[in-house]
Amino acid sequence: MALITPGPMAGQISGRLGAIIFAHNRGGPYVRNGTIPITSTTVPSLAAKARLAAVSQSWGALTAGQRLAWKLYGMENPSVNRLGHTITLTGHQIHNGINARLLLAGNAVITAPTLLATPPPLLTFSITGDIGAGTTECAFTATPVAALDQVWLTGTVQNSSSIVNVENQSRFIAASAVNQATAWDYQALIEAVFGSLVVGQHVTLFASVFGSTSGLLSAPLRAAVDVTTT
């Protein structure tokens, strides 16, 4: 799905134009391909559906006061979308988004928004990519991360280092243990998502600090390496 900013010639667009659908939601106008829905039964998609069911069940069990707390949290903590526009999410969206991340990282859902601040980002982040006798590790500072924090790792594998705009192709890889120290080996983790690494491929990883009890995520740092072997 792509976000758009209508110009003076098209102040508002809605509906289908051929295979393209123009629409609008709380995040602003967007455009997407018109597709026929299909049922995906892959392991990642089933896991995602299970997380959505779990957070939806959690929302359904909240009291009116708890839902109001999430609503106020969303109003007091606006988000910024990919176009740099400030948007206000509903309490339901905030609750589900935070708790889906917590479940993805192997943590418990929370019924009330946290009073904790977003974790500070890593100071430095670099990776190695030797699939032979060398290392495939993430190195970062400060190390280790705080006692209740994890390292949140996303990324992608490309066949060419000339492709640099890969943020939209990035996929979740793993969340580390809490209090993770540097020199975290990522090879098995990334191969579980993208398949076996091959010499000559280009790996790009993004690392953030994730609060295991708050569900809040710091800004990411980026690192890239060409896969080699020794």
> Residues near 26 by Cβ (< 8 Å), separated by ≥ 6?
87, 88, 89, 90, 93
Distance, in Å, from the CA atom of 194 to the CA atom of 108, rounded to the nearest integer, reads 27
Low-confidence ranges of the chain (pLDDT < 70): 1-19, 21-32, 34-38
pLDDT in the model for residue 10? 55
pLDDT tens for each residue of 46-62: 899 999 999 999 999 99
pLDDT tens for each residue of 101-149: 999 999 999 999 988 889 999 999 999 999 999 999 999 999 999 999 9
Domains of the chain by range and CATH?
2-33 (no CATH), 43-104 (no CATH), 124-226 (2.60.40.10)
pLDDT in the model for residue 4? 57
Q: Which of 13, 4, 168 is nearest to 83 (CA)?
A: 4
At what angle are helices 91-104 and 43-60 packed, to 10 degrees? 130
Report pTM. Answer: 0.81
Distance, in Å, from the CA atom of 169 to the CA atom of 18, rounded to the nearest integer, reads 25
Distance, in Å, from the CA atom of 13 to the CA atom of 31, rounded to the nearest integer, reads 9
